[in-house]
Amino acid sequence: MKQLRSILDPFVLMLLGTVLLASILPMRGEWAQRWDLLADAAIMLLFFLHGARLPREAIADGFRKWQLHLSVLASTFVLFPIIGLALGRTGAIEGPMAAGVLFLALLPSTVQSSIAFTAMARGDVAAAVCSAAFSNLAGIFLTPLLVAIFMQAEGGGISLKAAQTIFFQLLLPFAVGHFLRPQIGAFVAKHKQMTTVVDRGSILMVVYGAFSGAVVEHIWTKVSGLDLIILLAACALILAIVLGATWQFGKFMKFPKADRVVLLFCGSKKSLASGVPMAGVLFSPATVGIMILPLMVFHQLQLIACAFIARRLGAEADAEAKAAAATPTA
């Protein structure tokens, strides 16, 4: 039971509760417009704090393992999109749900869980911090660009209005937060609980607003139980392919095991914290709810799979270290 609680993220239960609330009590009209303004402000604060939390030392130190970090970026922004596009060509998932799977594939990696699983598996935590930071920083620029290239038909793209929104809601707050890091970085680091509340609160606000709009547009008449089962299988397939590919590529590149662990965990994640706000900025209100559904499913799957793998790798590393310590030296 304890292991089950450690694998199942309580935040996912909060997300499901928010979807349920929006399904029962969706916001409409003027209240929905006011809520959207509050959610926009929360997103700006979220990216401001992301900028303030990005260590400049991580950027400088990261270049020492440039091959590892490029491998993580290639997995995140090349391998994932190729899989997403290929899956869409099969026709197994169609319409907005297929667009949501592709959007999932274009997102940056996570930060907190990538670092946590790397530490659990006895990988190089410092390198994981660098890779996760690079991925999120690159994602602010690359994700909107990739959406513009591959998802014009789904309402995503870089129109003048969308570009202005991306700049003022995402890029500018992030840049200001990072610029002010010398003044506020210590305060932000000291009050991690505050940043967690902003992270999760802003996501819940966007999810509630998005699914309220989706319910008004009759989302649950467009998504069947079979659709959800197919979506679950598709997300599991994507995760399995990427986990296998990153681990084998790390071996091919002859990375030390600690670095292969970094590639495995940083290269196989997709960020809910970045993805939900970005969807709210990049897509029309009528489609946001269904667009983030694949991301919510993938988020829980990646936590379950990576928790299991990290525990196993960590146990193996501890056993190897214990055996090495017990071996007499000449």
Q: Residue ranges of the domains in the chain? A: 2-314
pLDDT (average), residues 260-273: 92
Among candidates 256, 258, 259, which has minimal Cα distance to 68? 259
C-alpha span between 243 and 249 (Å, rounded): 10
Q: Note the pLDDT tens digit of each residue in 228-255.
A: 899 999 999 999 999 999 999 999 999 9
C-alpha span between 119 and 261 (Å, rounded): 9
Q: Note the pLDDT tens digit of each residue in 134-167.
A: 888 888 889 988 988 888 655 455 555 656 666 7
CB 103 within 8 A of CB 168: no
* DSSP SS3 for 249: helix
At residue 6, does pLDDT exceed 80? no
pTM of this structure:
0.76
Percentage of residues of the chain with pLDDT beyond 90: 22
Phi-psi region of 94 (alpha: psi -120 to 50; beta: other; left: phi over 0): beta
Least confident of 157-171, 255-269, 288-302: 157-171
CB 210 within 8 A of CB 285: yes
How much is the mean pLDDT over the chain? 82
Among candidates 141, 78, 82, 140, which has minimal Cα distance to 111? 140
For helices 10-24 and 285-326, what crossing angle results, to 10°? 170
Percentage of residues of the chain with pLDDT beyond 70: 88
Q: If one looks up domain 2-314 in CATH, what number appears?
A: 1.20.1530.20
